[in-house]
Structure 1
Amino acid sequence: MQKKSHSLIESLINVLVGYGIALAAQLIIFPRFGIHISMSDNLMIGALFTVVSIVRSYALRRLFNRFTVKAHG
């Protein structure tokens, strides 16, 4: 069984890598749709979605871990 702290660390690393990819994608995709915003706005949008993603990833990890423990317990 994975410890809660390990679940959080794994989720954070996953999301931080995703943040970098998402930021790069925003910088490429937004202008092609006529969306022109400052770098600070791009960073803030990415940060907000990152927080949402961390919570989602951690919650799903814990949920699946609970099902795994019940199935094997």
Structure 2
Amino acid sequence: MTAQSRLDSFMEALTNTLIGLIVSTIANFFVIPLVLGVHMTHGQNIVLALIFTVISIARSYILRRAFNGRSVWLSVKLGASFYWMLARSKRYRFL
């Protein structure tokens, strides 16, 4: 099995996230008023979905690159080490 290129990783993350953008925009239109009682305009709904979309693209790309070319176990260990480091930090006591 050959490793994905950075462009392929980015395109996969982008495609996955754009589909998520469509689904979340539609879901937010119905869920936020029902659960939170907050009524948002279509523009506000789209801006909120776009913010989370940018975050999701970055997350997907970083995770894909972390797992690509490395064993899954090494990537999990690195993630656990990072989480442990944050949890021990006084600044991130909520973890």
- In the superposition, the TM-score normalised over structure 1's length comes to 0.88
> Which of residues 28, 50, 54 in structure 1 aligns to 2:53?
50
The one-character-per-residue Cα deviations of 1:28-69 (angstroms, maximum 9, x if unpaired) are 10111211011100000000000000000000000000314x
> What amino acid does structure 2 have at the position aligned with 1:16?
L
Percent of residue pairs identical:
36
Structure number with higher relative contact order (C-alpha < 8 Å, ≥ 6 residues apart)? 1
Pairs within 5 Å for 1:1-73? 1-33=3-35, 34-68=37-71
Q: Distance in 1 between matches of 2:28 and 2:66?
A: 31
> What amino acid does structure 1 have at the position aligned with 2:26?
A
How far is the alpha carbon of 1:23 from its aligned partner? Answer: 0.7
Partner SS state of residue 15, structure 2: helix
Q: Which has the larger radius of gyration?
A: 2
Runs of 4 or more, structure 1, over 3 Å off, are none
Q: Is the 8 A contact 2:13 2:57 kept in 1?
A: yes
Structure 2 gaps, min length 5 = 75-95
- In the superposition, the TM-score normalised over structure 2's length comes to 0.69
